[in-house]
Amino acid sequence: MTGALLDHIKIYCNLNAEATAGINKWFTASVVKKRTFIVKEGEACHHIYFVAKGCLRMFYLDDKGTEQTIQFALENWWMTDIDAFNKKGTSSFSIQAIEDTVVLGITKNDWDLLLQEQPGLEKYFRIIYERAYAASLFKMRFFRLPKDEMYRHFCTKYPQFIQRIPQKLLASFLGFTPEYLSELRKRKQP
């Protein structure tokens, strides 16, 4: 079940057979049915997850009880509330499968041990976090755009999300009403 993860690591790091076997043992694969939560806001966040197949979303409830979606993770993406994971605190976000999803999870203690045992993986995680940080800088600019322009940029940069994410969740992520998103979609069609 860790094949997808090992393939992803190999894009960035050299892994010999011994290292491959050494990584395998630390991860637990889980099949998460659509709509199931793997992290709940206000509860402990024990794991960081690699998406081997499917799609996760991260969200929180605002003061009015409305779900605010802030991130999606498709195949080969990692997801957790990184602050809660590192500090073993309670999560500020919920994480839910929006398709039937296969995740590979690892606890903070095991993740620390994995990196001690396989220091070559520091490069892999440096690149993972570097990309996540670069995406966050893009978002800082993106979310201040006029709404129609924001949608146009999003379609160009993340076409795979447009196809796979339900319209209601995409609207929540973009800060639109579902009706406004539907209107923008119609306008975009020839």
Binding site for its own copies (CB under 8 A): 60, 62-63, 68, 70-71, 81-83, 86, 92-93, 115, 119-120, 122-123, 125-126, 129-130, 132-134, 136-141, 143-144, 146
CB of 92: closest distance to its own copies in angstroms?
Answer: 6
Q: Tell which residue, 92, 2, 86, has the closest CA to residue 40.
A: 92
**Which two structure tokens, joined as six digits, stand for 83?**
């602050």
Question: For residues 72 and 135, is the Cβ–Cβ distance under 8 A?
Answer: no
CB of 170: closest distance to its own copies in angstroms?
Answer: 16
- Which string of DSSP letters, residue by residue, matches 140-173? HHHTTS-HHHHHHHHHHH-HHHHHHS-HHHHHHH
CB of 96: closest distance to its own copies in angstroms?
Answer: 16
Nearer to its own copies, 34 or 61 (CB): 61
Nearer to its own copies, 93 or 151 (CB): 93
CB of 70: closest distance to its own copies in angstroms?
Answer: 4
Question: For residues 184 and 175, is the Cβ–Cβ distance under 8 A?
Answer: no
